[in-house]
Structure 1
Amino acid sequence: MRYGEATVTVVDPRSYMTYQPFLPEVAAGSISPRHVVVPLRRVLPKAEVLTGRVTSIDQDRKVAVVTPLVGEAYELPFDYLVIALGAVSRTFPIPGLAEQGIGMKGVEEGIGLRNHVLEQLDKAESTTDENVRRKALTFVFVGGGFAGAETIGEVEDMARDAAKYYSTIKREDMRFILVDAADKILPEVGPKLGTWGKEHLESRGIEIYLSTSMDSCVDGHVVLKNGLEVDSNTIVWTAGVKPNPALARYGLPLGPRGHVDTAPTLQVQGTDYIWAAGDNAQVPDVAARKAGVENAWCPPNAQHALRQAKVLGDNVISGMRGFPQAEYSHSNKGAVAGLGLHKGVAMIVMGKTKIKLKGRLAWYMHRGYHGMAMPTWNRKIRVFADWTLAMFLKREVVSLGALETPREEFYEAAKPAPAPAAAAAPAAKAKA
């Protein structure tokens, strides 16, 4: 845009953007958590960044209600609106899930999972109760897509390395379980690579149960549909995503699964001043429909979101200046997934040719693709530096669980001392 032509305001409850494909490596300690987040104010120096949530939108008045982290809500007028809230974890009303489950959508959850797993090894090493030990060393992952398969692969690798420093824990003492309601894992890379990925994880001692689901996990007692019951302190939930539920409050046209219904130009249906893209948008897959696939929609992944953003930016400016809107069209370029150190699968689409890779070469493809896709050169260099140092230095296996309650120790030291017990009543005088 020309200087002074418009003001761009970004409203987000976090002051940073998280590159989610790297969360499994954060959980495994392969990448520093700070290196997978990008501060919005640094990368958007010409935009106004507000830390808060848009709680409602008045389309008639063109006003959004913003609730900041502190203080009263206020109205923010706009001429053009972009909806890009992304997705949240898709959950079900499973007893115990809200209390026991660990998600993998934010960097906080990646850090928390790493600390939690290492704490379980500490517990198992320090107890003499066999039931407590068994529960601490059982790890259950629900969901066999990219997030689930990559996370269990990375965490199992980390736990295997960490066990070398515990005198009473071996890899054979740990139990890793992957559960999925579908009949295969890693469906994004095709059936053959998905089968190889399943066999590879099983060769590492990971139990995989397909076509089943979790019925309950109250107090860590996991009950699966197939009848298996185990006790576990670690239940990681990666069973898909859904559009941010806040969309239901905005008065926008939504698709059957809660996504904002958009035209191929990314404009929200029935409007000429609202656009949507990414995981919260139902965008027609023009390339797939031209190839004969009816009712095809763009999948919710970074490959589409990054490219949609560029088209959306151009279309917003075209809308401001009265020019025609361009349609978004992109053919799938493939998919890559890492399953731990030096292990991965990759499918690369070149025209009508599909190149399928597995093992170390696929792992290089996974790191190369996501390393270059990481926003800003600052973060790219830091991520590659983490990987380079890991070639020469051993993996860190330090648990910093106290980060979750950093004031607890200070609170214990500073809280008022208990009042002294009342002095005992003097003994009754002996009778004369």
Structure 2
Amino acid sequence: MSTFRMPRVDLRDRSLSAAQLRAALPRGGVDVDAVVPVVRPIVEDVAERGAAAALEYGERFDGVRPAAVRVPAAELTAAAAELDDDVRAALEIAIERTRAVHADQRRTDTVTELGPGAVVTERWVPVERVGLYVPGGNAVYPSSVVMNVVPAQAAGVDSLVIASPPQRDNTGAFAGLPHPTILAAAALLGVREVWAVGGAQGIALLAYGGADTDGAELDPVDMITGPGNIYVTAAKRICRSQVGIDAEAGPTEIAILADDTADPAHVAADLISQAEHDEMAASVLVTDSAELAESVDAEITAQLETTVHRERVRTALSGPQSATVLVDDTDTGVRVVNAYAAEHLEIQTADAPGVAARIRSAGAIFVGAYAPVSLGDYCAGSNHVLPTAGSARHSSGLSTQTFLRGIHVIEHTEAALKDVAGHVIALANAEQLPSHGEAVRRRFER
């Protein structure tokens, strides 16, 4: 049996600028622009014809066509009733812990008094209606139901709809519907509106709405969140003039910053777990220990023997998006992972908390040997809908804040306005917008 070897990027004894460092690091990604011309006609057709068009595209692409878009409430109840006891218990714990974390994120209104009679209040108002996309594909994602629904509920969103593709392999009462575990998770969270539609057509239907096959109205949403494949991402890009979106999600990724104190079996297992998602998933190890790198390769080789999705994992770990990056020391490693800005970043070093405190760019940071990414996927209470492709340098993951809008409420008495009237007029004239100043001056004409 030959030893599997992760691709290597050797940055030792190299002094790189920020731009050079970003260029040197492994990065996969997808070309969303390339599929936009394919997706745009689908979006436009669904915008015009609604559910009928969405169901037609679903039948063409996925080989399954539900009788209607909206899943009957009875099927949600039935799915919850038939849920495996262990899965139910795990979902209930995940929901409980995720609710606890996201409840503490809820912002409160702030009132700033600038002077007598001059007050600005910032109100935090939830989005009125949101569409939460839960993908199908290689795996079933009830955890994504939890991660999308809980922060929306914590924000106070009144109207939620989950869209998830119907599964061709479903039989019996769930034929033509999303996976029953997805339906069960929705029921456990109290969500009563689920649409059996996925892909670009699902995103378009969320954005534009329309009548269902039975004549019932499918109301459009104000915001769409949740990950999906390249076609889903392209549809979100196209529809963002119609609705808000959380982000354009790329393939999932993990980076692990590790030194010679790390257990190579742990590191290998965590790299494999992320590669299990998708052949385009990125797994990156950053280390100052060549010995650890070799030991991790040996562990990957051994663990692949018992990995269920070994071919998918092997492809992901061998791709241009995955590598072991060798650095001179932990300080350089910190610089490297900040430049990489991973969706998920593990710190497996001596003084892991101290190293983690120096990280400025990551979707989520997992500290120490006993905080693997898998924990965050399910039961840490944190959110696993996170920025990808380096966007953690400027963006955050899904949270309660995602579903809140800050609205400034400005109140001034006559005296308070008069106090700054001259300044308003001066700035209006400086910007060659004199009517702005006139709107103030005329209030004091008698």
TM-score (norm 2): 0.30
TM-score (norm 1): 0.31
Structure with greater proportional strand content: 1
Pick 1 or 2: higher relative contact order, CA cutoff 8 A, min separation 6.
2
